Amino acid sequence: MKNQLTVLLLFIPYFIFAQTEGDWKKSALTFTPEVLFGKTMEANGGFPKTKLQKQAVFNIGRYQANNPQEWAQHLKRPKTGLSIGITDFGNLDSLGLAITAMPFIEFKAFGSNRWKILTGMGASYFTKKFNEETNPQNQAVTTDLTWAFRLYLYYQFLSTKNIDWRAGLGYSHHSNGHTRLLNQGYNSFLVSISADIKNPLNHFENTVSETPPNYKKTAYDYYAIRGGLGQNVFALAFNDKRNVYTIAGEYGRVYNNTFKIGIGFYYRFYQHYYDYIEGNESLVQAGREFDYFKSDPWYYSTNLGVTLHGEIFLNHVGIDLQLGFNLHKPAYKMEWRINEGWDNTPREIPRSWILGELDGSYKKKHRISSRLGLKYYLIGMEQAPKNNFYIGAHLNANLGQADFTELSFGYVHSFNFQERK
């Protein structure tokens, strides 16, 4: 599944660039070489010592200045594109290199042309990963491919005819989406120097002779349903992937064919929880803490929650964020007990072992969920279609700690279209 998600993520820039071919006068491409320096945060106790982290990134993008589509106008003509980068985390022997490909979008910030916010989500390939014998101290990554995320603030401190020079500060993250343990992930804070090179190919820029469209403010209601197939692992002693099945729905409103906000629900079934209970593993055996789970394995393997959902539409592409509150997720308590006590908790857990404490961190992660990802819609949202379908790739988390990686398919029905004053 990870390979399919990676392909979907990396095709997003193509969708953004090509979806309106021929119906708008495109701005020239920009090339933005960037160097970054910073700190790789320790992922675990005994983490290898690191020197200065160094990154080299090449961004290719296009300002949506001449794009007459509604999303481009409402988002103040942002820049979209693809970043290709290589990262030296400061210890080549243990941490190796990461090669990253990431679609991005860049907005104006604080109402100024000098300040920009860039965010992107993609995939990374690692040359070094955890190995129990040869690389035991690096518990950050155990898979060749991971999700990659970055969020940066830039300030344009010097502008010439052909180059805008920028300084930046931001955060980068790599995680495999809980598809294999260990998965502490890489978290880094970095500073950046970049040069936004304008029209490096000397492309003839078409100018828009007519006045940009003056879109009327609109709003309409919608409801949506989706199904999802995710994958995750349970614990080091159960480090093979199992499925997470999701059914979800929501109701909300779309503004100006660009912004969406809604409320909804989700139902999830975790195969790993069910197999643990049905297999009569340690913590559900007679007299153990969770022996009552065996009275109804299906019930105790499920997760119910309510959500607040937000999305930004770039016509066919949706940038998707969801915050949720778990009403029912009983087996997470069992998962926490196993994973947050001793390191390398065995499959057969002695009664004398100290298991994970149900502290404040547990209480927050047990209740708060999040979901971040990208969608591709069959019909562009610019058309405000009554019926639409999408495919999506998402990372689901428990308050920022990866839970499972998911591929989803959804249906959206829109109604009550109206103009706003």
pLDDT at 198 > cutoff 60? yes
Domain that holds residue 61: 2-17+24-198
Based on the fold, state whether residues 194 and 331 are members of the same structural domain: no
Average pLDDT, the chain: 88
Based on the fold, state whether residues 143 and 249 are members of the same structural domain: no
The pLDDT of residue 21: 45
Instruction: Tell me the pLDDT tens digit for each residue of 61-82.
Output: 988 877 788 888 888 889 999 9
- For the segment 325-334, the average pLDDT, to the nearest whole number, is 97
Share of the chain above pLDDT 90, in %: 59
pLDDT at 145 > cutoff 60? yes
Backbone torsion region of residue 315, taken as left when φ is above 0, otherwise alpha when ψ lies between -120 and 50, otherwise beta: left
Q: Please state which of the ranges 15-29, 145-159, 250-264, 279-293 shows the lowest mean pLDDT.
A: 15-29
pLDDT at 289 > cutoff 60? yes
Q: Classify residue 235: in a domain, yes or no.
A: yes
Q: Which of 120, 109, 58, 31 is nearest to 317 (CA)?
A: 120
Q: Classify residue 207: in a domain, yes or no.
A: no
Based on the fold, state whether residues 176 and 256 are members of the same structural domain: no
pLDDT at 312 > cutoff 60? yes
Q: How many CA atoms lie within 13 A of 313 on its CB side?
A: 23
The pLDDT of residue 14: 47
The pLDDT of residue 22: 47
Based on the fold, state whether residues 178 and 236 are members of the same structural domain: no
Q: Classify residue 258: in a domain, yes or no.
A: yes
Please give the backbone phi and psi of residue 392, each rounded to the nearest 5 degrees, phi first: -140, 155
Q: What burial letters (b/e) apply to 161-191, b meaning 16+ CB within 10 Å?
A: eeebebebebebbbbbbbbbbbbbbbbbebe
Based on the fold, state whether residues 152 and 268 are members of the same structural domain: no
- For the segment 12-27, the average pLDDT, to the nearest whole number, is 52
Instruction: Tell me the pLDDT tens digit for each residue of 368-409.
Output: 999 998 999 999 988 889 999 999 999 899 987 889 999 999
pLDDT band of 179, cuts 50, 70, 90: confident
pLDDT at 302 > cutoff 50? yes
Q: Classify residue 209: in a domain, yes or no.
A: no
The pLDDT of residue 24: 52
Based on the fold, state whether residues 168 and 222 are members of the same structural domain: no
Q: Which of 108, 15, 100, 14 is nearest to 317 (CA)?
A: 15
Beta strands in 233-382 (DSSP E): 242-255, 259-270, 302-314, 317-328, 368-377
Beta bridge partners of 410: 226, 390
Beta bridge partners of 173: 149, 187
CA geometry: angle 127, 133, 139, nearest 5 deg:
55
Based on the fold, state whether residues 134 and 271 are members of the same structural domain: no
DSSP structure string for 225-276:
EEEEEEEE--BTTB-S-EEEEEEEEEEEEEETTTEEEEEEEEEEEEHHHHHH
Query: What sign does the dihedral 283-286-287-290 (CA atoms) show?
Result: positive
Q: Classify residue 206: in a domain, yes or no.
A: no
The pLDDT of residue 419: 65
Q: Classify residue 10: in a domain, yes or no.
A: yes
Based on the fold, state whether residues 343 and 241 are members of the same structural domain: yes
Are 349 and 283 contacting, i.e. CB atoms less than 8 angstroms apart?
yes
The pLDDT of residue 264: 97
Of the three residues 166, 198, 230, the one that is the final residue of a domain is 198
Q: Classify residue 208: in a domain, yes or no.
A: no
Based on the fold, state whether residues 160 and 257 are members of the same structural domain: no
DSSP structure string for 56-108:
EEEEEEEE-TT--SHHHHHTTS-EEEEEEEEEE-S-TTTT-EEEEEEEEEEEE
Higher pLDDT, 365 or 416: 365
Helix H or strand E encompassing 360: helix 360-367
Q: Which of 10, 4, 189, 190 is nearest to 99 (CA)?
A: 10
- For the segment 227-255, the average pLDDT, to the nearest whole number, is 93
* pTM (two decimals): 0.84
Based on the fold, state whether residues 371 and 237 are members of the same structural domain: yes
The pLDDT of residue 203: 62
**Residue 287 vs residues 79, 108, 124, 296, 372: alpha-carbon distances, Å:** 60, 60, 45, 17, 40
Based on the fold, state whether residues 114 and 243 are members of the same structural domain: no
Question: Taking the chain, what is the end-to-end CA distance rounded to the nearest angstrom?
Answer: 46
The pLDDT of residue 17: 47
Based on the fold, state whether residues 137 and 239 are members of the same structural domain: no
pLDDT at 83 > cutoff 70? yes
pLDDT at 29 > cutoff 50? yes
CATH code assigned at 190? 2.40.160.20
Q: Classify residue 309: in a domain, yes or no.
A: yes
pLDDT band of 205, cuts 50, 70, 90: low
Q: Which residues contact 57 (CB under 8 A, 6 or more apart)?
A: 33, 34, 35, 36, 83, 84, 85, 86, 100, 194
The pLDDT of residue 12: 53
Q: Which of 75, 65, 82 is nearest to 16 (CA)?
A: 82
pLDDT band of 421, cuts 50, 70, 90: low
- For the segment 135-162, the average pLDDT, to the nearest whole number, is 90
Domain count, the chain: 2
